[in-house]
């Protein structure tokens, strides 16, 4: 099986940052316990670095690494991901952008 990577760009509503962070924290706790989850981190833009002016500080990234595509597929069918799908419109200003990668 080949590792599987995902970078998800999340755009929380500026007036709902606390709610977004809380919901994503719960999602991360449940996801990190899943079989095949090797990395699942939420990161935000950092100021003061060369090139940081091109980063939208209002965008967050979820960086994921899965042991296989099948593990990610199982994650997407989990109750906590389905729950997130049902509530995310309350705190995201636009749909999440997903970018998929495999090792070179």
Tokens of 7: 């970078």
How far is residue 77's CA from residue 31's CA, in Å, rounded to a whole number?
A: 12
DSSP 96: P
- pLDDT of amino acid 48: 64
> Which pTM value belongs to this model?
0.87
Name the residue among 61, 71, 45 with its Cα closest to residue 10.
Answer: 61
User: What are the angstrom distances between the C-alpha of 9 and each of 1, 12, 50, 58?
Assistant: 26, 10, 21, 10
Rounded mean pLDDT for each run of 10 residues along the chain, 104 residues in total: 92 93 95 97 80 76 96 96 94 94 92
- CATH of range 4-46+55-101; options 3.40.1500.10, 3.30.70.100, 1.10.1060.10, 3.10.300.10: 3.30.70.100
Question: Dihedral angle at the C-alpha atoms of 24, 98, 30, 12, nearest 10 degrees?
Answer: 10
């Amino acid at each position: 099986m080949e590792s599987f990577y995902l970078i998800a760009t999340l755009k929380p509503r500026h007036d709902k940052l606390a709610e977004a962070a809380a919901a994503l924290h719960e999602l991360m706790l449940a996801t990190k316990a899943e079989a095949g989850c090797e990395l699942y981190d939420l990161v935000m833009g950092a100021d003061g670095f060369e090139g940081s002016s091109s980063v939208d500080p209002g965008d967050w990234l979820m960086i994921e690494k899965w042991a296989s595509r099948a593990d990610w597929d199982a994650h997407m069918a989990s109750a906590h991901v389905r729950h997130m799908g049902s509530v995310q419109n309350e705190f995201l200003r636009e749909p999440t952008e997903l970018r998929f990668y495999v090792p070179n």
